[in-house]
Amino acid sequence: MIKTLLKKTAKKLIERITDFKFINNSVIIRKFIPYKENQDSFVLSTQTLIVKQLDSNNLPLPPIENWLGYGSNAEEYVESGKKDIDVLISILKNQNFKWDANNTILDLGCGGGRMIRHLFDYADKSKIFGCDINSNLIQWCKFHLQPPFNFLTNTTIPHLPFEGKYFDLIYTGSVFTHIDDLADAWFYECCRVLKPGAYLYATIHDEHSIMLLKTKYANQKISNLLESEIENIPTENYLISIGRDNDSQVYYAKDYFIKTVSQLFDIVSVTQEAYGYQTAYLLRKK
C-alpha cells in the first residue's frame, strides 16, 4: 500500500514538474522534446529503415515532418541546406579557415541534418557534430547520418557536453532567433567550448531583417507586432522577444547584439540576408 502510494505521489510530482508554468502562464518550461513524447515507452533499434530518397552524396533524406518548413519538396529542402552552408563556407574562407584541417565542428540546432549533410566532403578529415533539443530529429539523424557525422540531444539549458576549448567552429542557423532570457548564457557556453581564436557563426534577426519582413519577405502580422513594440522603446538599443521560451521570435538592434557578445568575441564580419532574411555574424573568440 505505502509503496503504491509513493509511486503515485512520485508520478504526480513528475507531472507537475513537467507541466510547470510561471504564475502568469506565459512561459512553459521545457528543456527538450523527448523522442516519441506521447508514448510511455519506446524502443530504439538499428534495424534497416525504409528510406525513399537520397541526396547526391547518397545520404538519406528525412521524412517531410522533419524538414521544419524548409522547402515544399525534396529538391527545395536539399537546396536550402546547400545554400546556407555555401554562404557559411564562403564567409569562413575569406578568413582563411581550413575546412579539411582536422577540425572539430558543431552544428548547434542541426534539426534533421539539413545543413550538416552538405559538409560530407569534410567529414573524413574533420570531426563534425550535430545537436538539437528535438530528440525525434536527432534519433533519425543517428540512424541515417551517423557515420559520417555524430549526433546528440541537448537541452535548452546552456550546457554542451564537451570539454573546454574543444571546437574550431560552432555554427547556428536560426537558433539565437529563438533564445530569449538565456541567450547571454548560451554565448558564454559556446565561448567555453571554443578554442582561442575559433569561430562562432550565428544568424539573428536585426533591423535589416525587420525591414525585409516589411518588403521582400513581407509578413504583415510580424511587422505589426514589431512596430507596436518598437514604438514603446525610447532607444534604438533593444532586444524584442515575441513569444517566450523556445517558442520565441527574438529581434536584436545591431548595437545591442554587438554589445552583448563583444566581451567574449571579436566581430569578424556581418552578412545581411545570409540565411533568408536573417543576418549572419561571424564571431572570433578572444
The tens place of each residue's pLDDT in the chain, 286 residues long, gives: 444 433 443 444 334 334 434 334 445 567 999 888 888 898 887 655 667 789 999 999 999 999 999 999 999 999 999 999 999 999 999 999 998 889 999 999 999 999 999 999 999 999 999 999 999 999 999 999 999 999 999 999 999 999 999 999 999 999 999 999 999 999 999 999 999 999 999 999 999 999 998 899 888 778 777 777 777 776 778 899 988 887 889 999 999 999 999 999 999 999 999 999 999 999 999 9
Contact 140, 64 (CB under 8 A): no
How far apart CA 193 and CA 111 sit, in angstroms, is 21
Whole-structure pTM value: 0.87
Contact 276, 217 (CB under 8 A): yes
The confidence score (pLDDT) of residue 157 equals 95
- Where are the extended beta strands (E) located within 101-173? 104-108, 127-132, 150-153, 167-172
Q: Using one digit for the tens of pLDDT, what is the confidence trace for 128-156?
A: 999 999 999 999 999 999 999 999 999 99
Strand-pairing partners, residue 194, are 167
Q: Is 15 helix (H, G, I), strand (E, B) or coil?
A: helix
Nearest CA-CA partner of 109 in 85, 84, 137, 82: 137
Q: Using one digit for the tens of pLDDT, what is the confidence trace for 71-112?
A: 999 999 999 999 999 999 999 999 999 988 899 999 999 999
The confidence score (pLDDT) of residue 42 equals 86
Q: Which run of H or E residues covers position 239?
A: strand 239-242
CATH number of 64-285: 3.40.50.150
